[in-house]
Chain A
């Protein structure tokens, strides 16, 4: 248990569905991140939040919509996804955006779009 909890662990959804991924951390961290990990591709940073404010959005399609209601929770809302969106979605947190801080990752949500 890393202190960053992601739910669900596995999710299968149709292309017309709407679902949400949840990430929760109780480490007192101020920054949270969403990453996408696809087979045979590098980790892709999707969104960065610091103190509940979005500070980076790496040209992610609008069918992915993040929400950070407080510094302990981060959501990724999904709608009208494509099969190529199937991947492992990883949430991470760090103490701050400072350079020496590493990240603590959750175990990920394995998403399959059918």
Chain B
């Protein structure tokens, strides 16, 4: 079945450091790919998405590129802030049937000043 694998956390970075959170997937066909973010005490918020190969999703300084050849959708940010501290979830939605979102386990990011 469809699945998403994310790098294990937690990830701790200093402010203004570069961030990469790895995400790879297994799916039939051509899924849509998503990154969600969950701030403390809140639900998940859509951060960015990409619906076809080579698409780049971007939002709030975060970027991720849909790489079909490596089945990856890594999340990147050039300079993190303390306010980026949260849990980040990679997710996919397969093209086959009315399948719901499949989530990775989440990666906790802590940014220290």
Q: How far is the CB of B57 from chain A (nearest CB, A)?
A: 10
The answer to whether A42 touches B98 (Cβ under 8 A) is no
The answer to whether A33 touches B100 (Cβ under 8 A) is yes
The answer to whether A107 touches B103 (Cβ under 8 A) is no
The answer to whether B100 touches A108 (Cβ under 8 A) is no
The answer to whether A90 touches B100 (Cβ under 8 A) is no
A100 neighbours in B (Cβ, 8 Å): 32, 49, 51, 93
The answer to whether A103 touches B46 (Cβ under 8 A) is yes
A56 neighbours in B (Cβ, 8 Å): 100
* B111 on interface, CB distance cutoff 8 Å: no
Using a Cβ–Cβ cut-off of 8 Å, how many residues does chain B contribute to the interface with A? 24
Q: Give the residues from 17 to 55 in chain A that come closer than 8 angstroms, CB to CB, to chain B.
A: 33, 41-43, 45, 48, 50, 55
A43 neighbours in B (Cβ, 8 Å): 89, 103, 106
The answer to whether A50 touches B45 (Cβ under 8 A) is no
Nearest B residue to A109 via CB reads B43
- Name the one of B42, B104, B106 contacting A108, with C-beta atoms under 8 angstroms: B42
| Chain A CB within 10 Å, residue with most, of B45, B46, B101 | B101
Nearest A residue to B6 via CB reads A42
A107 to B46 Cα, complex, angstroms: 13
The answer to whether A99 touches B32 (Cβ under 8 A) is yes
Beyond A50-B98, A97-B100, list 15 extra A-B contacts (CB 8 Å): A2-B45, A4-B43, A6-B43, A42-B103, A42-B104, A42-B106, A43-B103, A45-B100, A55-B98, A92-B43, A99-B94, A99-B95, A102-B101, A105-B44, A108-B42
Q: Name B residues whose Cβ lies closer than 8 Å to a Cβ of A.
A: 31-32, 34, 36, 41-46, 49, 51, 89, 93-95, 98-101, 103-106
